[in-house]
Amino acid sequence: MKDKVVIITGATSGIGKALAYEFAGRGAMVVIGARNYEKLLEVAEDIKLNGGEVAFAQTDVTNEVDCKNLVLTAVQRFGKVDVLINNAGISMRALFEEVDLKVIEQLMDVNFWGTVYCTKHALPYLLKEKGSICGVSSTAGLVGLPGRTGYSASKFAMKGFLDCIRTENLKKGLHVLMAFPGFTASNIRVTSLTKDGTPQGKSPRQEGKMMSAEEVAQKIYSAIDKRKNTLILTFEGKAVALLNKFFPKWVTSIVYNKMAKEPDSPFK
């Protein structure tokens, strides 16, 4: 990835931030986007102090103009785009029968439409370089997770969209990776939306026992470098993907029971 230009959304925390450091540390020129300008500046300055090349643009991925500007920042600063990593995302935790539909809309706007907007504007440059698109999904994109209807729906939509992009450009040298991390230590559960759209404020899980964001970033880096189509992380994620093909009813029961054991689970 040395001298490749890599755009990363949601790059100020969690997997996105870890990806920025991972690619910059491998000699790539990273272009990072996120909503918080102060955090963007902080990450960019730290990457520079560590010898990396970086550019950034304040980016709300629900805004198509912001997504276009992020891509143009990469082109204007470094002259090309080799990799686009659609990482920006938010989650939720509420029963569908109780949730305000605006919460579902918000998740689709960030997780799905953010991917669509960034991909649309980066695609001409990626095709020119025979580059890579990566969608950072979740186990929730492999099997529907109860209490996460909007999250699962948006991640399934992301996969369907990027599968189509891969097939449409099969003869043009474009590489598309779908990455499915398992539960990863990050702030996504802290910022996860409740039924009325307010942040959850705390994680219902033991973050210390999860795969670190840095481990996930290393795996995604390797999968992009090897131009893999699919990356499923953790034994749990691989087991769910495999067993759901043959024993979907059993997997549904297992998933229900596991998620119901979470502290303050919205269902029992």
- The domain in which residue 192 lies consists of 5-235
Q: Which pLDDT band, with edges at 50, 70 and 90, does 199 fall under?
A: confident
Question: Residue 236: its pLDDT value, please?
Answer: 85
43-64 confidence digits (pLDDT tens): 999 999 999 999 999 999 999 9
Whether residue 259 is contained in a domain is answered as no
Whether residue 263 is contained in a domain is answered as no
Whether residue 265 is contained in a domain is answered as no
Q: Is the pLDDT of residue 268 over 70?
A: no
* Structural domains of the chain, count: 1
Whether residue 254 is contained in a domain is answered as no
Task: Name the strand (E) or helix (H) holding 83.
Answer: strand 83-86
Q: Is the pLDDT of residue 211 over 90?
A: no
Q: What is the pTM of this model?
A: 0.91
Q: Quick check: is 151 catalytic?
A: yes
What are the strands of the beta sheet with 53-58, ordered from one edge? 53-58, 29-34, 5-9, 83-86, 132-136, 175-180, 230-232
Whether residue 53 is contained in a domain is answered as yes
121-136 confidence digits (pLDDT tens): 999 999 999 999 999 9
Whether residue 251 is contained in a domain is answered as no
CATH number, domain containing residue 197: 3.40.50.720
Whether residue 204 is contained in a domain is answered as yes
Task: Name the strand (E) or helix (H) holding 256.
Answer: helix 248-260
Whether residue 266 is contained in a domain is answered as no
Catalytic residue among 117, 125, 151, 221: 151
More confident residue, 107 or 235: 107
Residue 21: which residues within 8 A CB-CB, separation 6 or more? Answer: 47, 50, 52, 214, 217
